[in-house]
């Protein structure tokens, strides 16, 4: 889906697919296409009807990778150790589509279904990211703790330094919270479906990504120069964690989603609903009879 000029606004997608008889003619420019340089086929999000709302005028089309006009420009992100990059941050291809022709029947679903299909995939897909982040966090946390009990500095181990103890305590708490939030989001998806769990999914996406980043950052700090070298996986994990706050919707987009949904449960009040003098007066009026009786009896 992603394009150099579109960013977080899917309405800016400029790749177009025009029907020509029994074929689609596709022209556009994509990047960060996962496994795009090694895949046998590509699924292209393209504008098929520019005259309607962008969400209704976009479709998904299957394009075999060896089709004439498909140009794999490069892998956008590369690793110092490519053999360790799978599942982290490698094989994200920049691809240009120049007068690419594929059969009309390569359309996924119905014409105009592109964004609907994307959202059906992205909701569950985000929770899968969070599950992987939990595993990555645990791996970084184990490296942090192992380093803490192994490294001696200024007469004592890192594990005896209060600052390092704080890193470990904060990491453990954040990881536990992220795990429970992920479990709750998964439970709610099972109970009521992804659309009804959109707030919970959005929360774990930005919260889990930040926790992953925090834990890896502390592990690198504990290892010093070694942690930032390519001799440990932390350097690659760190870049992966930073990217997690961008892909599948940047953190800011998900926070806006959560805030908007939460705010629907509140209404405007000229006087704050918890204004103490106002509540006292309302209580006096509500219980006036009882107060009068108490006054007479006293």
Domain coordinates in residue numbering, the chain: 10-110, 115-263
Interatomic CA distance for residues 102 and 20, integer angstroms: 10
Tokens of 158: 């890192």
- Alpha carbon dihedral 173, 176, 177, 182, in 10-degree steps, equals 160
61-96 per-position pLDDT tens digit = 999 999 999 999 988 765 333 344 444 445 788 999
Is residue 241 scored above 80 in pLDDT? yes
Q: Do residues 180 and 158 lie in contact, with contact meaning Cβ atoms separated by under 8 Å?
A: no
User: Is 115-263 a domain of CATH 1.20.140.10?
Assistant: yes
CA distances from 243 to 43, 214, 254 (A): 22, 13, 15
CATH class of 10-110: mainly beta
CB 64 within 8 A of CB 103: no
Does the predicted model carry a pTM greater than 0.75? yes
pLDDT over 70 percentage in the chain: 95
Residue 91: predicted pLDDT: 74
Mean pLDDT confidence for 165-184: 98
Say which DSSP state 10 is in.
Answer: G
């Amino acid at each position: 889906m992603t394009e150099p000029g579109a960013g977080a606004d899917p309405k800016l997608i400029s790749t177009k697919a025009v029907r020509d008889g029994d074929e689609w003619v596709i022209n556009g420019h994509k990047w960060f296409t996962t496994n795009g340089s090694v895949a046998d086929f590509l699924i292209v999000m393209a504008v098929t009807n520019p005259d309607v709302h962008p969400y209704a005028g976009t479709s998904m089309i299957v394009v075999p990778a060896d089709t004439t006009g498909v140009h794999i420009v490069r892998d956008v992100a590369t690793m110092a150790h490519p053999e360790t990059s799978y599942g982290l941050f490698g094989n994200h291809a920049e691809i240009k589509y120049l007068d690419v022709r594929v059969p009309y029947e390569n359309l996924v679903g119905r014409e105009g279904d592109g964004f609907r299909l994307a959202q059906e995939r992205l909701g569950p897909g985000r929770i899968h990211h969070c599950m992987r982040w939990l595993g990555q966090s645990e791996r970084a946390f184990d490296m942090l703790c192992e380093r803490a009990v192994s490294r001696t500095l200024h007469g004592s181990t890192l594990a005896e330094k209060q600052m390092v103890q704080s890193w470990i305590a904060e990491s453990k708490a954040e990881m536990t919270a992220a795990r429970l939030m992920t479990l709750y989001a998964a439970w709610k998806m099972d109970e009521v479906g992804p659309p009804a769990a959109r707030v919970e999914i959005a929360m774990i996406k930005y919260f889990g990504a930040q926790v992953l980043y925090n834990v890896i950052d502390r592990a690198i700090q504990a290892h010093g120069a070694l942690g930032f070298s390519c001799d440990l996986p932390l350097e690659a994990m760190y870049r992966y964690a930073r990217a997690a706050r961008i892909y599948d919707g940047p953190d800011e987009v998900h926070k806006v989603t959560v805030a908007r949904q939460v705010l629907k449960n509140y209404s405007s009040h000229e006087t704050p609903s918890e204004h103490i003098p106002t509540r006292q007066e309302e209580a006096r009026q509500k219980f006036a009879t009882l107060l009068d009786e108490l006054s007479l009896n006293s």
